[in-house]
Amino acid sequence: MIFGVDVNYLAVLVVALVNFFIGFLWYGPLFGKAWISAMKFTDKDIKKGKEKGMASPMLISFVMSLITTLILAAFLNLADPSSFINGAFIGIWVWLGFYMTASVGSMLWEGKSAKLFYLNTAYDLVRFIIMAGILAVW
């Protein structure tokens, strides 16, 4: 139970792993080169990142995935969707109301490129549709 709402913690763990895997695919084999270009990383930046290691950022990312999934699961439990499609639509609303709007601010005020905006917001849309859909039927 979180904030008085029952949550299936096994579902949260599994969906957080799914979310993490979607991120791996998105920023790796699917759109990794486009993301590197949009971030304006040089070969030197990439080499420096490899030397630093990925363990800490990966662990922190997974913890953030767990938190996001936990809150989404609680929200979906309150909304009580009856199917994957209903859950997916809730995922779209969460993305539209919270993630996409915040990303516009990043693009406008932090100097992020439109290309990076599209890559990141599309990723958020896809992951929220899948996460909310799975949680809805779990």
> Model confidence over 54-113: pLDDT tens digits?
899 999 999 999 999 999 999 999 999 999 999 999 999 999 999 999 999 888 999 889
In a domain, 63, yes or no: yes
Residues spanned by the domain of 59: 9-137
In a domain, 2, yes or no: no
- Label residues 97-132 b or e (16+ Cβ within 10 Å = b): eebbeebeeebeeeebeeebbebbbebbbbbbbbbb
In a domain, 123, yes or no: yes
Of all residues in the chain, what percent carry a pLDDT higher than 90?
A: 83
The pTM (predicted TM-score) of the whole model is 0.90
In a domain, 75, yes or no: yes
In a domain, 3, yes or no: no
Which position has the higher pLDDT, 16 or 49? 16
In a domain, 4, yes or no: no
- Please report which confidence band the pLDDT of residue 126 belongs to, taking 50, 70 and 90 as the band edges: very high
Q: How far is CA 15 from the centre of its chain?
A: 11
Say if residue 1's pLDDT is above 90: no
- Domains in the chain, number: 1
